[in-house]
Structure 1
Amino acid sequence: MPTLLHIDSSAFTDGSVSREVSAAFRAAWQAQHPDGTVIHRDLAARPVPHLDADGISASAVPADGRSPAQAAAFALREELMSELEQADAVVIGTPMYNFTIPSSLKAWLDQVILVGRTAGESPSAAGKPVTVVAARGGSYAPGAPREPYEFVTTYLEKVLTGMLSLEVDFIVPEFTLAPVVPAMAGFVQQAADSKARALEDAERKAKALAA
Structure 2
Amino acid sequence: MPSLLHIDSSADLSHSRSRALTAAFADAWRARGPEYTVVRRDLHVDQLPHLETSALHWAAADRTPEESVAPEAEALRQQVIDELLSADVVVVGAPLYNYTVPSTLKAWIDRVHIPGVLTGGVQPLAGKPVVTIVSRGGTYDAGTPTEDWDHGSPVLHIVLGTALGMKLYPVTVSATLADRLPDLAPLAGHAAAEFADARTTIERLATTLG
TM-score, normalisation: structure 1: 0.91
TM-aligned CA deviation for residue 34 of structure 1: 2.4
**Cα distance, 1:207 vs structure 2:** 1.2
Distance in 2 of aligned mates of 1:93 and 1:57 = 23
The 3 A distance-change label for structure 1 pair 170 and 141 is farther
More divergent stretch after superposition (94-103 vs 146-155) = 146-155
Q: Distance in 2 between matches of 1:50 and 1:136?
A: 24
Describe how 1:15-164 pairs up with structure 2 within 5 A.
Answer: 15-53=15-53, 56=56, 59-60=59-60, 70-164=70-164
Q: Secondary structure at the match of 1:39?
A: strand
1:160-179 aligned within 5 A? 160-179=160-179
Quote how far apart the aligned CAs of 1:10 are.
Answer: 0.3
Question: What is the DSSP-based 3-state SS (H/G/I as helix, E as strand, rest coil) of the residue aligned with 1:132?
Answer: strand
2:208 maps to 1:208: yes
- Do the aligned partners of 2:55 and 2:67 also contact (CA within 8 Å) in 1? no
Q: Give, in angstroms, the shift of residue 33 of structure 1.
A: 3.6
Work out the CA distance in 1 between the residues paired with 2:68 and 2:147.
46
Measured against aligned partners, the alpha-carbon deviations of 1:127-175 in whole angstroms (never above 9, x if no partner) come to: 1100000000111133333111111112210111221111111111111
1:165-188 deviation per Cα after TM superposition (whole angstroms, max 9, x unaligned): 111111111110001112221111
CA-to-aligned-CA distance 1:74-94 (integer Å, 9 cap, x gap) = 100100000000100000001
Q: Are the structure 2 counterparts of residues 57 and 71 from structure 1 closer, same or farther at C-alpha, using a change threshold of 3 Å?
A: farther
Q: Deviations over 1:99-147 (max 9, x none)?
A: 1000100100101122111112121211110000000011113333311
Report the counterpart of residue 4 of structure 2 in structure 1: 4
Distance 2:80 2:11 in 1: 20
Uncovered stretches (5+) of structure 1, i.e. residues with no partner: none
Q: Secondary structure at the match of 1:133?
A: strand
Contact map agreement 1:120 1:163 (CA 8 A) in 2: yes
Query: Take 1:33 and 1:117, find their aligned partners in 2: how far apart are those partners?
Result: 33
1:36, distance to aligned residue in structure 2 (A): 2.0
Offset of 1:44 from its aligned partner?
Answer: 0.5
* Amino acid in the other structure paired with 2:82: S
Normalising to structure 2: TM-score of the pair? 0.92
Give secondary structure in 2 for the equivalent of 1:130.
strand
RMSD: 2.1
Secondary structure at 1:172 match in 2: strand
Answer 1 or 2: which has greater helix percent: 1
Q: Note the residue ranges of structure 2 that are not aligned, 5 or more in a row.
A: none
Q: 1:209 is aligned with what amino acid? A: L
Q: Give aligned pairs, total.
A: 208
Which consecutive segments of 4 or more residues in structure 1 shift more than 4 A?
65-69
- TM-superposed CA distance for 1:66, in Å, is 11
